[in-house]
């Protein structure tokens, strides 16, 4: 990513683990200004900063944009000494917000990143002005028991790797977009690259099977009072729209918008509409 003029693209060490991030339209002189909008973008499972490549230039015209590669994805660390839990992912987001001394941020999460946004808002509501959930994960439990115990089998990460290879990036992208004509060589390369010739990510994903604690409970979701916008694709095959409607019902201060002929990967499919919805929502 990092193709715009003068972004900061580097890693930040949190609890001994390298976290890659990209920072757009940022200056130290402006960080203390209460008028400066700050957008923090959190990607979904098997994704990275790349998934927000269309939203970043739109939002960076409105304020500072911080995009994070959650480990073990993208360019972040993939060490086996890290606990790949949603709680730790939320701690990464909170730590980076506090490191840059951002205040009253707009938290934008896609898919799994939406769940991490809810975790972060639950843990540090004073840092979050509003939340935008894009086809967010919701109400998923821990990994099934047989999968949990299978992950301890030696070389299980190679089974995970073969499963990914068998499906292939083209089929994976076809499953998450409504209009397959959106898929081009650049898109395929961007989503495939972090997994190419890299066994470490498959070892880390195997560990994540054990570490992931599951989504927030319905009661925990109901306790979140931060104003929230939910945007959904009506043809989402990964996280059906009924999940979004249930989240909307449980979140005490929320607005729900859906789009026809749109799938799960909405930051790629309808970025301009998402941008318009966000700007209308935050006022």
Which residue in 138, 132, 91, 77 sits closest to 112, CA to CA? 138
Q: Please write down the HEC assignment for all residues of 244-278.
A: HHHHHHHCCCEEEEEECCCCCCHHHHCHHHHHHHH
Question: Any catalytic annotation for residue 264?
Answer: yes
Provide the 8-state DSSP code for 39: E
**Catalytic-labelled residue, pool 60, 76, 111, 143:** 111
What is the rounded distance in angstroms from the CA atom of residue 6 to the CA atom of residue 70? 22
DSSP-derived 3-state class of residue 46: coil
Question: Any catalytic annotation for residue 111?
Answer: yes
What is the rounded distance in angstroms from the CA atom of residue 227 to the CA atom of residue 254? 6
Strands (E), the chain: 8-14, 17-24, 37-42, 63-68, 105-110, 128-134, 228-233, 254-259
Where in the sequence numbering do the catalytic residues fall? 111, 264
């Amino acid at each position: 990513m990092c193709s715009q003029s003068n972004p900061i693209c580097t890693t930040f060490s949190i609890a001994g683990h390298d976290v890659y991030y990209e920072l757009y339209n940022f200056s130290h002189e402006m960080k203390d200004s209460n008028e400066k909008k700050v957008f923090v973008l959190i990607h979904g499972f098997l994704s990275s900063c790349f998934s927000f490549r269309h939203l970043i230039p739109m939002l960076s015209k409105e304020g500072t944009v911080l995009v994070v590669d959650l480990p073990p994805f993208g360019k972040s660390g993939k060490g086996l000494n890290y606990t790949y839990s949603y709680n730790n992912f939320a701690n990464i987001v909170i730590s980076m917000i506090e490191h840059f001394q951002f205040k009253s941020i707009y938290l934008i999460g896609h898919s799994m990143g939406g769940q991490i946004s809810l975790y972060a808002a639950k843990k540090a509501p004073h840092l979050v002005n509003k939340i935008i959930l894009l086809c967010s994960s919701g109400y998923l439990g821990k990994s099934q028991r047989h999968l949990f115990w299978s992950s301890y089998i030696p070389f299980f990460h190679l089974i995970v790797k073969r499963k990914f290879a068998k499906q292939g990036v083209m089929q994976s992208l076809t499953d998450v977009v409504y209009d397959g004509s959106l898929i081009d060589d650049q898109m395929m390369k961007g989503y495939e690259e972090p997994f190419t010739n890299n066994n470490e990510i498959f070892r880390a994903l195997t560990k994540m099977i054990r570490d992931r604690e599951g989504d927030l409970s319905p009661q925990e979701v109901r306790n979140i009072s931060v104003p929230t916008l939910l945007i959904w694709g009506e043809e989402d095959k990964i996280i059906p729209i009924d999940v979004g409607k249930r989240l909307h019902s449980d979140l005490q201060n929320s607005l729900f918008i859906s789009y026809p002929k749109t799938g799960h990967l909405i930051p790629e499919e309808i970025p301009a509409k998402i941008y318009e919805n966000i700007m209308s929502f935050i006022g």
